[in-house]
Chain A
Amino acid sequence: RKEVEQDPGPFNVPEGATVAFNCTYSNSASQSFFWYRQDCRKEPKLLMSVYSSGNEDGRFTAQLNRASQYISLLIRDSKLSDSATYLCQSGGSYIPTFGRGTSLIVHP
């Protein structure tokens, strides 16, 4: 089974901080990558896609490094409402594969 690895954290940061998560994948054939946000006792929801050229959406930036087989998510100016678990996904062959998620706690 091709794996996706994430540091489970938790990452404990103050409001306004910048925080970055990495996610490594083992399936070099994967063509698509995504970041999801999962709140406690809720379903994962798509946060953003990860393109080869990078992707930015407001305070969130996602990057793909194919050579080293990892994707990253950068959150700038963290808000209390960013507290959640962030999961990365690699696609391919009808098996969207998820990492275990990285827990982020933003405190006042």
Chain B
Amino acid sequence: DTAVSQTPKYLVTQMGNDKSIKCEQNLGHDTMYWYKQDSKKFLKIMFSYNNKELIINETVPNRFSPKSPDKAHLNLHINSLELGDSAVYFCASSPWEDTEAFFGQGTRLTVV
């Protein structure tokens, strides 16, 4: 009965590869997000979706492409991975804007 689930939990890959992270929420929330948490623990918003429509794209390189097939899913595809992409990526959802966020367990991405 996991509320927000993302896979994989760990991802180790070489520079230049393409990878995807999947996220699903069973809370019936309208809004979903991707956050990046770097080594200094700063949670930075990357994308915000409402009812599968992109609302916010926070100056993220276009190597990162989110896709929301329906409002319960928000996947993240990353092309041409770089060393600086190494971080923990969190998917989150909230019932509507301006409310608390519920996070997935995170995907620890290491680019070597």
**Is A25 among interface residues, defined by CB-CB distance under 8 A?**
no
A34 touches B100 (CB 8 A): yes
B100 touches A49 (CB 8 A): yes
B103 touches A96 (CB 8 A): no
Range class of the B interface residue count: 20 to 34
Q: Which A residue sits closest to B104, measured CB to CB? A: A43
Q: Which B residue sits closest to A47, measured CB to CB? A: B100
Expressed in whole angstroms, the Cα–Cα distance for A98 and B41 within the complex equals 11
**Is B86 among interface residues, defined by CB-CB distance under 8 A?**
no
CB distance from B76 to the nearest CB of A (A): 16
Q: Assess A44 versus B103: contact at CB under 8 Å? Given A94-B55, A94-B97, A95-B56.
A: yes
Interface centre among A44, A85, A97 (most CB of B within 10 A): A44
CB distance from A51 to the nearest CB of B (A): 12
B99 touches A32 (CB 8 A): yes
Expressed in whole angstroms, the Cα–Cα distance for A38 and B88 within the complex equals 13
B97 touches A92 (CB 8 A): yes
**Can you list 14 A-B pairs, Cβ within 8 angstroms, ordered by A?**
A1-B58, A32-B98, A43-B90, A43-B104, A45-B103, A46-B101, A46-B102, A85-B41, A87-B43, A93-B98, A98-B35, A100-B41, A100-B42, A101-B43
**CB-based closest 8 A-B pairs:** A43-B103, A91-B98, A98-B43, A94-B55, A94-B48, A94-B97, A34-B100, A96-B101
Interface residues of A (CB under 8 A from B): 1, 31-32, 34, 38, 41-46, 49, 85, 87, 89, 91-98, 100-101
